[in-house]
Amino acid sequence: MSYNFDATIERRGTDCEKWDLLEKIFGTTDVLPFWVADMDFAAAPGIAAALQARASHPVYGYQTKEEKVFHAAMAWEARRHGWVIERDWILNTPGVVASLSAAVLSLTSPGDKIVIQPPVYPPFFTCVTRNGRQVVENPLRERNGCWEMDLADLERKLDPTVKMLILCSPHNPVGRVWTRDELRTLGDICLRHGITVLADEIHCDLVFPGHRHVPFASLGREYANASVTFFSPSKTFNIAGTYTSFVVLPDPDKHRRYGDLVAALDIGEGNLFGLTAAEAAYKTGGDWLDNLLSYLGANADALVDFARRELPGVRVEKPEGTYLAWLDFRTRFTDHDALKKFLIHDAKVGLSDGLSFGRQGAGFARFNFACPRTLMLEGLSRIADALRKKG
């Protein structure tokens, strides 16, 4: 089946965060948005059909879909990633960020320290600090345009007060897809120090040829027992607004503690349309995803090629996964505020501010290229024209 990812779909006026909050986020509506991580593509047809079919029934009462959806999600992980999840490991929760906070609350104590690896997804900071825990930064390091974990730095920073590490896999915003060896080395360090790994694998399906996502818990039972894994169809199938995700806790004690909190808050039942969308995605979305990855890969290639030709002094490498490009403006802008003003007011593009990913993001901006290629190239051309005018 063919899918038209080049189609322009008007999203303004649909209560769309990406397009309808420009004034609030950027102070102007006169920008093209390439910021928040959802896609400007229609969801897979099977998802829309399932939602429309369910909506056609006029009663939207309590439902019993969880078992169907759990088995669809488990089959997807086994089929796409070779990870066999047992039924009594998995729980349903309303979104990965809420799930991360629930893990912090249920598996650590106030004042405990939690490691994150910036530059990284901004809610990782707030999932720790807003819940009364302390952030320990283990920054990624860059070598010749490739980002890697600084595991020697991690070892130096671990002490008995550090209880947890939040792993972004694949990594947002730098686009790394961690190798099995990298994950195993990280896992061995965490095992030696009794560290629980929270593996945010929400971008696990968005990986380009030549790379392969390895679920952290699939490394072996000891790694699985020391971890909690989070995944969702939201990024993969562009259904983030349905707020449905899955949490996998193979260790019985962690599962009990986490499950007790979810039960106490009554947030584990899921919602009718979120579960309907998730089941349809995992059962019918494989062909759509394969075509999407081909389109996104071509977009990534076009973006990198354009930058090398038309954006002198701006460095970007093709991400190994995700649909997010990490643009390095540091040789053009020594002042981060000047970069922000340039992008918004001169180039008239709305990118994600690099500093929101941690202080290591100064001089960077994140570009979401999950959109029709013509729109992506228009945004890049605006940056190129503004750079030429700047001189």
Query: What are 277-317's pLDDT values in tens digits?
Result: 999 999 999 999 999 999 999 999 999 999 999 999 999 99
Integer CA distances (angstroms), 115 to 17, 138, 160, 213, in order? 30, 7, 13, 22
Q: Is residue 174 part of a domain?
A: yes
In a domain, 381, yes or no: yes
Nearest in space to 373 (alpha carbons), one of 293, 311, 296, 304 = 296
240, part of any domain: yes
Same domain, residue pair 183 and 266: yes
pLDDT at 144: 85
* 148: phi then psi, degrees, rounded to nearest 5: -145, 160
Q: Which of 230, 253, 284 is the last residue of a domain?
A: 284
The verdict on residue 363 lying in a domain is: yes
Give the chain's domain count.
2
Looking at the structure, tell me whether residues 335 and 208 fall in a common domain: no
Q: Which of 266, 284, 302 is the last residue of a domain?
A: 284
Q: Return the CATH number at 156.
A: 3.40.640.10
Q: Is 11 within a domain?
A: no
- Both 147 and 247 in one domain: the answer is yes
137 and 33 part of one domain: no
Cα Rg of the chain, angstroms:
21
Report the pLDDT value the prediction gives residue 377, as an integer from 0 to 100: 98
Q: Tell me: do 126 and 205 sit in the same domain.
A: yes
Q: Is the model's pLDDT at 1 over the cut of 90?
A: no
pLDDT at 65: 87
Residue 261 and residue 126 share a domain: yes
Q: Which residue, of 269, 284, 299, is where some domain finishes?
A: 284
Which residues form the domain of 299? 17-44+286-390
pLDDT, tens digit, 9 for 90 and up, residues 21-72? 999 999 999 999 999 999 999 999 999 999 999 999 999 999 888 899 999 9
Burial (CB count <10 Å: 0-12, 13-18, 19+), residue 42: middle
pLDDT band at 269 (very low <50, low <70, confident <90, very high): confident
Residues 259 and 368 in one domain: no
What average pLDDT score do residues 187-202 get? 98
Task: Band the pLDDT of 145: cuts 50, 70, 90.
Answer: confident
pTM of the full structure: 0.97
Question: Would you say how long the chain is, in residues?
Answer: 391
Pair 307, 380 in one domain:
yes
